[in-house]
Amino acid sequence: MNNLDKIGVCSRSFSRNPVLRKELLSKFSNVKFNDQGISLNGNDLIEFLSDCDGAIVALEYIDKTTLEQLPNLKFIGKYGVGLDKLDFDALDEHGVKLGWTPGVNATSVAELTLNMSLNIVRNTPASNALAEQKNWKQVTGKQLSSLTIGVLGLGHVGTKVAGLFNAFGCKVIAHDILNKGLECEQLGIKQVNFQNLLKDSDLLTIHIPGNESTFHIIGAHEIGQMKEGSFIVNTARGGIVDEKAIIEALNTQKIASVGFDVLEVEPPKNLDFINHPNTFVTTHIGGSSEEAILAMGFAAIDGLSNYTNASVFKKYK
């Protein structure tokens, strides 16, 4: 057990989980958890980590300004797979090491993607709303198996998503900035360029990182290239899709319905998107299956443990 380094657990869901708490305390004796359950950013985050050598972070922003005020911080274990809230140049500048394991929540996110797709294609939220109002009326939808599914991004999640849609008998096409010929051959799907992905998909599902290069990569122009009455699912990162453009497309029925687990601003301040009758929105729960929470937590703990055992940390950019 490490008795020297103090660890601060910023993540609320990690702090609430008794299994993860027990596992971390079996390896580090000096740990403080976010037991108040508050969102730690800015000055609150700095104050919480001010006396810590290591941290477990999830959705907290770690940037240059933050690190300048945390001179004791030496290593971070990443809880979850998204890296869009970490400033890697600042981490390098301040000598802070990162322990990160990609793909640990891929199955959880992929299954939510399938769940959302079935909901918006079969229009089950509308039927459920009618049932709650004691209005026993049939609502029609489409069969998922009749659609061409376009997968944007064939990383850990995207490949699992493609496999799930394959099992439903869907035609699956995919686009990635890398050559994924081997993966496509193994999955029995076709890799296409971005324009053909937009043009040929009945349902577009998004699985790419959120960064400057992908911000609003799906906007009014891209939506204009899609089929009339198509569907979009985003379980990747908010900001990849222009939500204002989506609302306009829903109002003209260019897009039939969308399912989003992530939004550009979370929690949202403007509720127009959430309240639209043809949006199905969840509260960023892609990685929140019980199994994924444990997998992400154990990976974060391993990241800290590997650092303290003098293992070499990779730098991810």
pLDDT digit of tens for each residue in the chain (317 aa)? 676 689 999 999 899 999 999 999 999 999 999 999 888 989 999 999 999 999 999 989 999 999 999 999 999 999 988 888 899 999 999 999 998 888 999 999 999 999 999 999 999 999 999 999 999 999 999 999 999 999 999 999 999 999 999 999 999 999 999 999 999 999 999 999 999 999 999 999 999 999 899 999 999 999 999 999 999 999 999 999 999 999 999 999 999 999 999 999 999 988 999 999 999 999 999 999 999 999 999 999 988 877 644 333 444 33
Check whether residue 212 and residue 298 sit in a common domain.
Answer: no
The pLDDT value recorded for residue 303 is: 85
* CA 262/CA 237 separation, integer angstroms: 6
Check whether residue 121 and residue 256 sit in a common domain.
Answer: yes
Sign of CA dihedral 105, 108, 110, 112: negative
Please report, for the chain, how many H helices and E strands are present, in that order.
14, 12
The pLDDT value recorded for residue 4 is: 66
Contact 268, 148 (CB under 8 A): no
Is residue 316, in this structure, part of any structural domain at all? no
Residue 51 domain boundaries: 2-104+289-308
Is pTM, for the whole model, over 0.75? Answer: yes
Catalytic residue among 94, 122, 276, 284: 284
- Distance separating the N- and C-terminal Cα atoms of the chain: 31
Check whether residue 136 and residue 77 sit in a common domain.
Answer: no
12 catalytic? Reply is no
* CA 156/CA 149 separation, integer angstroms: 17
Catalytic residue among 47, 68, 185, 266: 266
Catalytic residue among 175, 222, 237, 243: 237
Check whether residue 95 and residue 191 sit in a common domain.
Answer: no
The pLDDT value recorded for residue 312 is: 36
The pLDDT value recorded for residue 121 is: 98
Is residue 64, in this structure, part of any structural domain at all? yes
Cβ contacts of 236 within 8 Å, gap of 6 or more: 153, 157, 206, 207, 208, 209, 210, 262
The pLDDT value recorded for residue 316 is: 38
Check whether residue 41 and residue 171 sit in a common domain.
Answer: no
Check whether residue 197 and residue 293 sit in a common domain.
Answer: no
Q: Is 182 exposed, middle or buried (0-12, 13-18, 19+ CB in 10 A)?
A: exposed
Is residue 231, in this structure, part of any structural domain at all? yes
The pLDDT value recorded for residue 80 is: 87
The residue behind tokens 């990609």 is 102
Check whether residue 173 and residue 237 sit in a common domain.
Answer: yes
The pLDDT value recorded for residue 317 is: 36
Number of domains forming the structure of the chain: 2
Structure tokens given for 83 = 């890296």
* CA 83/CA 259 separation, integer angstroms: 23
Amino acid at site 107: T
* % pLDDT > 70, the chain: 96
The pLDDT value recorded for residue 311 is: 34
175 catalytic? Reply is no
291 catalytic? Reply is no
CATH classification at residue 93: 3.40.50.720
Check whether residue 248 and residue 300 sit in a common domain.
Answer: no
